[in-house]
Chains A and B, each alone.
Chain A
Amino acid sequence: MLDAEFFRRWMSATADAVDREAGRLTELDSAIGDADHGSNLQRGFAAVAAALEKERPATPGAVLALAGRQLISTVGGASGPLYGTLLRRTGKALGDDSEVTPGKLAAALGAGVDAVAQLGGAKAGDKTMLDALIPAAGALGESLSFGAAREAADEGALATVPLQARKGRASYLGERSIGHQDPGATSSALLIGTLADTAEAGA
């Protein structure tokens, strides 16, 4: 079972990972975006970590809802409302339980991913964060293995390289967006990777 403390550790591990990888994310974003993905997410997740430290929400759902809200209000770019919606909807789907099973998290994450698709109007293969999140949520739902979700997210992010972007700033580049890994799929793989790390580290 996963409690609020687990979700706080996941978010704080994500803040650390984003901090560590900010340069790489911004580098990927400078190829096909506006070169702010790393710094935007860094600012957002630093605010998430600070808010969770201060407010200490009592349930898994409340942890993710607070994190999502912080991202929407502090990021400033499109990744704010997108990641904010992902976490908030996932949190909402978890409800008020004080502990959740991996199966329940998998279903909730699926609901969060659907909400992201709806907000951005994107689908699989558009070279967006969904290309990592959809396979990750699918793998988690099928196997209930966080390691399998991480693997699926990493593969999904890598598989964005040959795709042509059809959403967001990168879509203006047309064919010139081909050959670059999508920054949003990369940061999504990071988020799923820290989930697996947190699960593997145990209590």
Chain B
Amino acid sequence: MSGGKLVGIVLVSHSASVAASVAELAKGLAGGKETAPVAAAGGTPDGGLGTSSELIAEAARSVDAGAGVAVLVDLGSAVLTVKALLAEGDELPDGARLVDAPFVEGAVAALVTASAGADLDAVEAAAKEAYDYRKA
């Protein structure tokens, strides 16, 4: 537990609709009433495909309650942009962390775990575990 504060989740995709839909899916499957804060940062500010450091930073600030922020990404520039922002030091809230997980499955696992009041390490572990679930 993390003192009553919930870990925030940020979903970064090349596409605004993918990020928003995965957030909706995760909220739906996290179920019930209150979930941990989740924000989508998809596409470029003008609505194109790509990654926007502004949208990511804004999303991270919006879900930061002081318990840490788990950032899940899809591919390519989403991965590199978040890594570059973390290396910059002051762009993302303290306790923001890039979580290495499959995007959709990891988002669901992260949000369910965060909504249960788990700390950032546990949220990260749950999201990463999604890699071990083989489908065939």
Contacts and interface: CB of A to CB of B under 8 A. Distances in A.
Interface of A: 36, 40, 69, 72-73, 75-82, 84-85, 88, 119-120, 168-169
Contacts of A72: 53, 81, 84-85, 88
A73 B54 contact: yes
A106 to B, nearest CB: 23
Interface in B48-62: 48, 50-54
Contacts of A119: 80, 83-84, 87
Interface of B: 44, 48, 50-54, 76-77, 80-81, 83-85, 87-88
B114 to A, nearest CB: 26
A168 B77 CA distance: 9
A75 B77 CA distance: 10
A33 B116 CA distance: 42
Contact of A76 (B48, B84, B85, B88): B48
B84 A169 contact: no
Contact of B87 (A75, A76, A85): A85
A81 B48 contact: no
Nearest to B50: A76
Given A81-B77, A84-B84, A85-B87, A73 B53 contact: yes
B50 A77 contact: yes
Contacts of B52: 73, 76
